[in-house]
Structure 1
Amino acid sequence: MKRQRQLATKSRAMPNDLPTWLEYLEQLHPVGIDMGLKRVREVATRLGLLASPLAPKVITVAGTNGKGSTLAVMAAVAGAHGQRVGTYTSPHLVRYNERVTLNGEPVSDDQLVAGFQAIEHARLKAPEISLTYFEAGTLCALWCFANAELDLVLLEVGLGGRLDAVNIVDADIGIVTTIAQDHANFLGTDLEQIGREKAGILRPRHPAVLGSETLPGSVEESAKALNAPLFVLGQAFRRTPQGERYWQWHGRLADGQDVSLTQLPDPGLPLDNAATALQALTLAGLVPDAATTQAALASVTLPGRMQWLGQWCLDVGHNPHAAAYVASRLHKPLEGRLWCLIGMLDDKDADAVIANLVPRVTDWVCVSLSGSRGRSAASLKAVIERQGGQVHHCANSPKEGADWLGRQLAACDIVLATGSFFTVGALLEITLPQASHETTA
């Protein structure tokens, strides 16, 4: 039976459509990011969201990069094994509904509106509590999960860990994927300290799955201080090549038994993250069937991560670690150009991102992003030219940049579009131009 959260209604009129709610929530709190759990935990308590588990198993994923792909693999494999799965991710690319899915489908506008209305009733109780856009969205996701019958809930942490709104939930399993510099204004540049913040999602005596062989020591130290059983990539579990097209995974079941899966297809996502996902699922009690897992990996998709649309490869990578991965997967065509259409936010390390791409990219188009955090195309052009890159055009928006580039493309060219969720999201809303014949710029 579904667990309904019944709340007294106030006389205040509330919006009945999602766009109005989102606009309202963006203006609700005096600052966009306000790290801390006190306010969001209190509203969650008023809603009854912390009184009982959201599902029999909850897995929280933190890290600088790889969270989305790890979660996507877990959702695909668990769903293929018949589990009812809820996922919460952020940010979205095109529609807000992408952030919350139930059994592989984004929740409806009506579900989100009902959740936001319940949250508004709860936060307005005396004393009134202010919430950020992300905090309200996190609570809405938890409300949707609490009112569904799920076997597994997968939560992606936002920019932090210890003080991220997602961390009000005590997860059965905590995953830390990678640690690198990003969001320096909030997390600083000390990787050991960043590692401690990300490891704040771990819980005493609950499994900690570490999905990188190069994590700072602070992550493992934090897990050991909690007596959390450690499952580290390259130690408790690993992935190895199997011929040119496949890979194999070796891990441990929840009861400590070794388990292996062979002939696994490349999902087009980082294999470290896929291996980490499989290890976390086995610790959550899933005994993976080989054929089912193979089929799930062959079908898993993650929009905006090495996503190919004709000649275009779209990737939301916006920090140096992500850019290095993208660069390692792309190679200049034998006869054509490797273009890069790039748009970034002003608080990202554009110099280091571009430094990882310059050795691969032959030709550049820079686009401006709007908003208070948006970076101008001209400033990106200056960074690229300092590093020896050739910029052909600066555009006022991703769409304008794509339109210009479409007139230059030869059939043997490829385009990487990258730098931000906002860049990729804008391009996913249009039909990307493809070369219809051989042209030269």
Structure 2
Amino acid sequence: MLNPDAQSLAEWLSFLESLKTVRSTSNAFSSVRAVMDRLALWPRFEKIITVTGTNGKGSCVAALESIYLQANYRVGAFTSPHLLHFNERIRVQGEMVTDAEICEAFNAIDEARKNVALSYFHFSFLAALWLFKKAQLDLMILEVGIGGQSDVVNLIDADLAIITSIDLDHCEVLGNSRADIAREKAGIMRAYKPVICGDKNPPSVLSEVAEKLKASLFVVGKDFFYESAGKEWVFKSADDYFEHLPIPAIDLANAATALMGVMCLRPAFPVSFEAIKGGLENVFLPGRFQPIDYQRRTIIVDVAHNPAATRHFFDQVKCAYPERRVHTIFGMQKDKDIAGVLAAAIPFVNAWYLISLPKPRGVEAREIAVQFEKAGQSHYQVCINADEALEQVLHNTATADLIVVFGSFVTVAEVLKRV
């Protein structure tokens, strides 16, 4: 055992944060595979759904999980990153696993790994598999960390692959074009297994890979469709037509993509229309266009952190809250396209409150301010932290104004802790 001192989850996480990232894909795969072999963590009877995509992964996982729980299946879900608590990453039967359960899993992994190098994410993923094995599940829903083919989640063969969207993010790892990123994400496909794509205009490489693997590819806008109808919506595909579906508390595109996935697994896992409706009514994911009432103000928090997600977020803001003055609390991580995000958001925002995020990945608020100066923008304040940003935005807004918080999971978490 390489970490004999960790007792609490906080101590374990402190230890995990000290571990180095395993840069080489082959090394990462061989390390994680070795621990999976030693602990017999390879799934045997469970169906596996693997979800990747630039945006919308978490929402799609949440929708799948909620629908299958309503249909009385035993379901485990692995996602990342978390907002407030590490436990959010691993859910069994819709509930976060406990600190004690995670510590037990970490202990087992640490003993089994011997001298094998693992990262924070590797420990997280292996802990999920260890806890899922104990839970004796029908279904595992696994969210890829970054990309697809080169992510350790891809060690497990998916019975259903879902690619929610394809856009530019993590370009230093995945490539600088949608085609490069699509090729990486296509790596989660498996021969003869269905693939769902929630991107209306996917690069051709997706269909090329699917054809080589003889995998059935279903693309939104071509093979399945959805349409809002007031307070309800309609889903249709070649084999199914559902109307009077409840509008979920997640983006409709991700709900429709998840529902197409449910339809593809239906022979093995039948799901009634009532379970679909119940799942959509109950699905919730914090930090995704989440409204909060706070001191007679409306605050919308969203984890949008790349240009595509930012454009979509502000489309939603203007649709739901037309004519409102928008004040924004904003912070970002260093590996993100700050200029691109600001270009997408600046036309919609009346005032900015910039916060620094924790190092080493967080960007200093003053660095973000430089981007505003370059863009000729002056309606911003540099704040010491989220406390000051909240104090200032409450002082400068009326009850009719809208406060939005976005830019990073960390930005949203910093504000959620305080409201």
Under a length normalisation based on structure 2, what TM-score does the superposition of the two structures give?
Answer: 0.93
The answer as to 2:347 corresponding to 1:347 is no
- Per-residue displacement from partner, 1:285-342 (whole Å, max 9, x unpaired)? 2434233322321221110110010210000110011001101111296665211111
The answer as to 2:74 corresponding to 1:93 is no
Shift of 1:116: 0.6
The answer as to 2:413 corresponding to 1:425 is yes
Residues 40-439 of structure 1: matches in 2 within 5 Å?
40-50=32-42, 52-53=43-44, 55-124=45-114, 128-242=115-229, 244-251=230-237, 258-285=239-266, 286-310=269-293, 311-331=298-318, 336-431=324-419
Alpha-carbon spacing, 1:335–1:327, altered in 2? closer, same or farther (3 Å): closer
Alpha-carbon spacing, 1:113–1:271, altered in 2? closer, same or farther (3 Å): same
CA contact (8 A) 2:291 2:300 kept: yes
131-140 vs 385-394, which deviates more?
A: 385-394
Question: Aligned with 1:331: secondary structure?
Answer: helix
Alpha-carbon spacing, 1:325–1:405, altered in 2? closer, same or farther (3 Å): same
Alpha-carbon spacing, 1:11–1:92, altered in 2? closer, same or farther (3 Å): closer
Shift of 1:38: 1.8
Alpha-carbon spacing, 1:46–1:380, altered in 2? closer, same or farther (3 Å): same
Question: Aligned with 2:285: secondary structure?
Answer: coil
Cα distance in structure 2, aligned partners of 1:360 and 1:335:
10
Shift of 1:385: 4.0
- Runs of 4+ residues over 4 Å off in structure 1: 332-336
Cα distance in structure 1, aligned partners of 2:374 and 2:249:
33
Question: Aligned with 2:318: secondary structure?
Answer: coil
CA contact (8 A) 2:350 2:379 kept: no
CA contact (8 A) 1:385 1:391 kept: no
63-72 vs 285-294, which deviates more?
A: 285-294
Alpha-carbon spacing, 1:224–1:430, altered in 2? closer, same or farther (3 Å): same
- Per-residue displacement from partner, 1:385-423 (whole Å, max 9, x unpaired)? 433544331112223312221222210011110000000
Pairing partner for 2:14 from 8, 16, 23? 23
User: What amino acid is the match of 1:405?
Assistant: V
Cα distance in structure 2, aligned partners of 1:104 and 1:345:
30
- Per-residue displacement from partner, 1:173-207 (whole Å, max 9, x unpaired)? 11111111111221121221111111111111111
- Per-residue displacement from partner, 1:414-436 (whole Å, max 9, x unpaired)? 111000000001111112xxxxx
Shift of 1:27: 1.7
User: What amino acid is the match of 1:239?
Assistant: Y
The structure with the greater share of residues assigned to helix is 2
Shift of 1:59: 0.1
Alpha-carbon spacing, 1:191–1:11, altered in 2? closer, same or farther (3 Å): closer
CA contact (8 A) 2:183 2:205 kept: yes
Alpha-carbon spacing, 1:338–1:149, altered in 2? closer, same or farther (3 Å): same
Alpha-carbon spacing, 1:324–1:11, altered in 2? closer, same or farther (3 Å): closer
User: What amino acid is the match of 1:266?
Assistant: I
- Per-residue displacement from partner, 1:227-268 (whole Å, max 9, x unpaired)? 1111221222211233x222111136xxxxx12211112213
Cα distance in structure 2, aligned partners of 1:11 and 1:337:
54
Alpha-carbon spacing, 1:152–1:318, altered in 2? closer, same or farther (3 Å): same
Question: Aligned with 1:359: secondary structure?
Answer: helix
Aligned residues: 410
Alpha-carbon spacing, 1:288–1:237, altered in 2? closer, same or farther (3 Å): farther
Cα distance in structure 1, aligned partners of 2:377 and 2:318:
16
User: What amino acid is the match of 1:89?
Assistant: T
Cα distance in structure 2, aligned partners of 1:426 and 1:223:
41
Cα distance in structure 1, aligned partners of 2:365 and 2:213:
46
Question: Aligned with 1:147: secondary structure?
Answer: helix
Cα distance in structure 1, aligned partners of 2:2 and 2:30:
27
CA RMSD across the alignment: 1.8
**Identical counterparts, % of pairs:** 36
CA contact (8 A) 2:41 2:130 kept: yes
Under a length normalisation based on structure 1, what TM-score does the superposition of the two structures give?
Answer: 0.89
Give the unaligned 5+ runs of structure 2. Answer: none
Give the unaligned 5+ runs of structure 1. Answer: 1-9, 253-257, 432-441
User: What amino acid is the match of 2:83?
Assistant: L
401-410 vs 351-360, which deviates more?
A: 401-410
CA contact (8 A) 2:22 2:117 kept: no
